[in-house]
Amino acid sequence: MTGPDGATSTSTHCPYCALQCAQSLTPVPGAREGASVAVEGRAFPTNRGGLCQKGWTSAAVLESPDRLTAPLVRSLGGRLVEASWDEALDLVAAQLLRIRAEDGPDAVAVFGGGGLTNEKAYQLGKFARVALGTANIDYNGRFCMSSAAAAANRSLGVDRGLPFPLTDLTQAGAVLLLGSNLAETMPPSVAHLADVRSRGGLVVVDPRRSATADLAADGQGLHLQPLPGTDLVVLLALVHVLLTEQLDDTAYLRQRTEGLEELRRRSALWWPERAEQVCGVPADDLRAAARLLAAASPVHGGRGAFVLTGRGVEQSRQGTATVSAAINLALVLGLPGRVGGGYGAITGQGNGQGGREHGQKSDQLPGYRMIDDPAAREHVARVWGVDPASLPGKGKPAVELLRSLGTDGGPRALLVHGSNLRVSAPDGQRVAERLDALDLLVVCDVVPSETALLADVVLPVTQWAEEEGTMTSLEGRILRRRKAIEPPVGVRSELWIWSELARRLGTAGSWDTDPSLVFDELARASEGGRADYSGVSHARLDRDDESSAVWWPCPATPADEPEHPGTPRLFTDTFPTATGRARMVAVDHLGPADDLRPEAPLYLVTGRVLQHYQSGAQTRRVDALASAVPGPYAELHPLLAARLGVRDGEKVRLATARGAVAVPARLTDTIRPDTVFMPFHWGGAGSVNRLTTDATDPVSGMPEFKVCAVDVTAASAMVVTPDPVEVGA
């Protein structure tokens, strides 16, 4: 492609969320070694040429003034000082060998990220299990998609965020969106909701009147505003209405599902009036939402309906149960597998989908194979050229892994790739303490993130415009990430780092550093798995028109047969379960683990803002984004603020059982009077994850980020109590 002034443009995709908006990058003449690039949106089905503020400013991160360009090693004086690559890698390898010799391979742990390319996610899983021999690998996708994945796997037989193209939403008569503020987290996706809004069919479930909930106002749909932590009750009530009013698709349920009778018995308990007493949503609104969805469903001659979930309902100790209830709702309406209908989960991180398919999760091998499956172990071990018996078993999921760091019998070393744990993990102060207890903390990053600043060794790595690879979008599309510029001198790819470490650790086998070759190995390892990429290669992705990019599963075909076209829509004929039917899993409501009590009488909910992303390590370094929202704050309803004696802009103190923060108050009537909202993009004293609970879902291991009990007071009212004076002194 040719861009402004005749410069050659590179077609790639945005470095941020899983929408993976298409971009063109054109080097800016006269910039530092051609490193600066101009960003343009590119025509693509998901973003239609549009970008959000983060996408438009994404090139600024390439020029961050504190970009890491040399390895850093902590000196005897406690400072991070520059070192050569040989010095840094020799030190890391020597420490890893010593720790493994003393306490075994599980004394070393690995923590990955949902922003790594497919090639890096695959190679990291292989490095952990072959070069290190450890079972202790997990990644920050455990904080993102694990509940939706667990529920989809047990009900539908496979986990793909959207088992249909995003563009299908444009034809729908109704869309139910729970726990996702798309207008701020994935703004270009909102264009796909325009038609359903015009039909009055958008139903948004959120305790805040978010920008997305506003889209359902003025006759364009419904906004259901439940008590935090009760979204499951909303879903149970919707299923109750559909079954009792005989609005279900009886033929579909009979032919394509199992578990209906138990679901019917459980849902009988949640009539709308009872549900209203628990979730706070008026019974009439619950009935209206159920009837709207039914009218749009194919069984009633409608245009189609979709049920979508996001982190707001999944980051909960009952997140898997809530997603199961959402899937049940979709099945009762006869949606999954039909054109114009279905259930989907809005994947968050850029490669949240691909990152969990190829080996970063503690219980999985490439191709979405389970690590305790003998056949899966045999297949992957054959590709890796190792004995299946040498592969470790299941490791600890993320929160459990972090709790165990530096404890007796727990990991003594941690390698972090693509994650800023100090900001993004729940109960952040305890995480910092566990990181500090390690003998060795190694962090690969592009900037000195809060986690990198705690490390013993920091290794500078390439970022999106400086590397080749693939990403898998929220729809299951396999997309090409292409190199547009050279990285700064001294920066290396993680593929090179793992190859060098594997050599220093004495590990045999193939450790390719060419992403296309790593992808070819990934494709072989995934063959026959649920996420089968074996019919895909960099060459095919470069040849095909990206507007029809390949969806997995895409198995390899014999040389004399046409290539498999990929699978944009799943479940059209059957479900990949043992019976070929979808399983409806009956669930019940438990409520938050950290619920209201006299000393913590309000709910704290967390989330994102338009200008920032995840832990903010990238976006807080972009002047245009940082100046728009420079720091953390707490949203309070004016009624709550009046009761506390707080005015807009004044500081409030939020305290939970885990810690306290003081931040400015923003007064808004878009939030419930019993609820406080804080965004999670900042570290330090304003990090909301100092407050959040690390209670986890028993099925998925997902932490309950989204809701906990909090006490809120005016910061000006804080009283400093002097140390007690000993009587008689």
Q: Poorest-confidence range of 147-156, 509-518, 542-551, 634-643?
A: 542-551
Least confident segment among 139-143, 656-660, 710-714: 139-143
- What is the model's pLDDT at position 8? 87
Containing 583, the helix (H) or strand (E) segment is: strand 582-583
pLDDT of residue 70 exceeding 60: yes
Q: What is the pLDDT of residue 6?
A: 56
pLDDT reading at 372 higher than 60:
yes
- Strand pairing category for 305-309 and 342-345: parallel
Taking residues 461-471, what's their average pLDDT? 96
Q: Please check the confidence at residue 397 and state whether its pLDDT lies above 60.
A: yes
Task: Kindly report, residue by residue over 696-725, the tens digit of the pLDDT.
Answer: 999 999 999 999 999 999 998 654 434 333
Rounded Cα gap, residues 145 and 700, in angstroms: 9
Predicted confidence band of residue 728 (pLDDT cuts 50, 70, 90): very low
State the average pLDDT over residues 45-72: 94
Angle at 238 between CA 234 and CA 244, to 5 degrees: 140
* Whole-prediction pTM: 0.94
User: What's the mean pLDDT when you consider all of the chain?
Assistant: 93
Share of the chain above pLDDT 90, in %: 89
How crowded is residue 170: how many other Cβ atoms within 10 Å of its Cβ?
A: 14
**Confidence at residue 35, expressed as pLDDT on a 0 to 100 scale:** 59
184/210 Cα distance (integer angstroms) = 9
pLDDT of residue 2: 54
**Whole-number pLDDT of residue 439:** 97
- For the stretch 398-432, pLDDT in tens is 999 999 999 999 999 999 999 999 999 999 999 99
| CA separation for the pair 676, 448 (Å, rounded) | 31
Exposed/middle/buried for 668, CB within 10 Å: 0-12, 13-18, 19+? middle
* b/e map 40-64, b = 16+ CB within 10 Å: bbbebbbbeebbbbbbbbbbbbbeb
Domains by residue range for the chain, with CATH: 72-133+357-465+491-551 (3.40.50.740), 146-345 (3.40.228.10), 602-717 (2.40.40.20)
- What contacts 24+ positions apart, CB below 8 Å, involve 255-262? 256/331, 256/334, 256/337, 256/575, 256/581, 256/582, 257/331, 257/581, 257/582, 257/583, 257/584, 258/579, 258/581, 258/582, 258/583, 258/584, 259/583, 259/584, 259/585, 259/586, 260/584, 262/584, 262/586
* Mean pLDDT, rounded, for 243-247: 98
pLDDT tens-place string over residues 12-55: 999 999 999 999 999 887 555 545 899 999 999 999 999 999 99
Q: Where are the beta strands (DSSP E) in 14-134?
A: 22-27, 37-41, 72-74, 80-82, 108-112
Q: Could you tell me if 308 and 345 are in contact, meaning their C-beta atoms sit under 8 angstroms apart?
A: yes
pLDDT digit string (tens) for 331-371? 999 999 998 899 999 988 889 899 889 999 999 999 999 99
* Residue 109 backbone dihedrals phi, psi, to 5 degrees: -125, 160
* Residue appearing with tokens 């209670």: 695
Mean pLDDT of 603-630: 93
pLDDT tens digits, 509-541: 889 999 999 999 999 999 999 999 999 999 999
Q: Are 166 and 46 in contact (CB under 8 A)?
A: yes
Average pLDDT of the residues in 614-626: 92
Instruction: Specify the pLDDT at position 218.
Output: 80
Among 141, 112, 115, 148, residue whose Cα is nearest residue 316: 148
